[in-house]
Structures are given as C-alpha cells and as structure tokens.
Amino acid sequence: MVIPDTFGRRGVRAITTYEFADIAEGTGIIDFYLAQSQENLTISPVIVQRLGMSSTEDGREKDIDNNTVNFDLAPFNLPKTVIGTSYFQFEASSTNSAAVMTFQLKKDSGGAVTNIGTAVAIQLDNGTDKYLIKYPITTKIHFKKGDFLRLEIVGNNQGAFFIGTDPANETGVNVLNTRTTLSIPFDLDI
C-alpha cells in the first residue's frame, strides 16, 4: 500500500479577506492619515497609512491660511485604480468665520499632475469644529507603479486656520483632534 505524499504540495500563497460591503460595491476602502515627516531640518506634509507619530510639535498644519499645501502619499509599488466615494474626516480650527478650505485629490505621474474628481470647498466656523466631507470619484483613475496620490488643500487668507496632522492623535492642542483621515476607494480586482 502506497501512502500519498501530501507534504510536498504547495498551499495557497496568500489569503485575501474582504468585507461583504466591499465585494458588493466592488471597491475596497483604505484609510490614510495626514502627517508631517522630517528629513534633516525640513518638515514636509505627507500622507501615511499607519497610525504613528508625526514630526510636529502640536499636531497641526499651520501654513494653510493663504497657501496651497500638498500632502503626498509614497509612490505606489503596484498598479492601482481609484473609483467610488471617498471621505475626508477631520477637525479644524479657525479665527474667522469667513475662512474657506478647498480640497482637491490629484494624481502625480512623473510630474504630470491631474485632478481627480471635483474640488470641494467648505467654510469653517469660527473656533473648532468637526467635518466629514463626501468626495465622489465617478471615473476610474489608474495609477501605475511609481505614481502617487496627492491631497491639495488651499486656504483663502481669511484668518488663521489649522488642520490636524498627527495620526496618533497624541499632540492635540486644547480640544483639537489632530487625526485627519482620508478614506479612499480602490477598485477590487476579484
């Protein structure tokens, strides 16, 4: 009697788990966070995927008042496709009720920058408040290896205003929640 050799066979190399809502929608949501990184003496706005600390003393991006601030994700290692509804969840503070922040997702492909969806503008309340912005992406946006996602935030020069840049939410100023979350829908290849 011969005993079959089942130990030499290879099993499944990877196991992928999806939530039912992701399969039904055809997209998988990945949460990203605004942060600030430090290289030498330069602090740069970035987008990260982990809830870690940020290189900032108080967890806020302070330079939005009359500037364009670009938060960049590290380049993709594999091709990706973005489609569906993304959400921005954050808390912001302002010294003027006329302050407006405009948000625009962008794709950077070797320096060629294109807009993703339509920019969303919100008027901030005087003081600190919580916001949840719905940002629809109605056409498939393809990212190849080396491309990266950018969130551009533009201020309108109406007082000082701030947005959180500490994914760990450890450096909050007064009542400001310093974690800003971007929920981005990626097309599932299933």
Tell me the pLDDT tens digit for each residue of 12-42: 566 667 676 667 777 788 999 988 887 777 7
pLDDT at 6: 60
pLDDT at 179: 82
Integer CA distances (angstroms), 7 to 3, 4, 12, 14, 128, in order: 11, 9, 14, 18, 61
Tell me if the domain spanning 29-187 has CATH number 3.40.50.1360: no
Mean pLDDT of the chain: 80
Supply the DSSP symbol for 168: T
- Cα 53 from Cα 169, distance rounded (Å): 8
User: pTM (2 decimals)?
Assistant: 0.80
Sequence length of the chain is 190
Q: What percent of the chain has pLDDT over 70?
A: 77
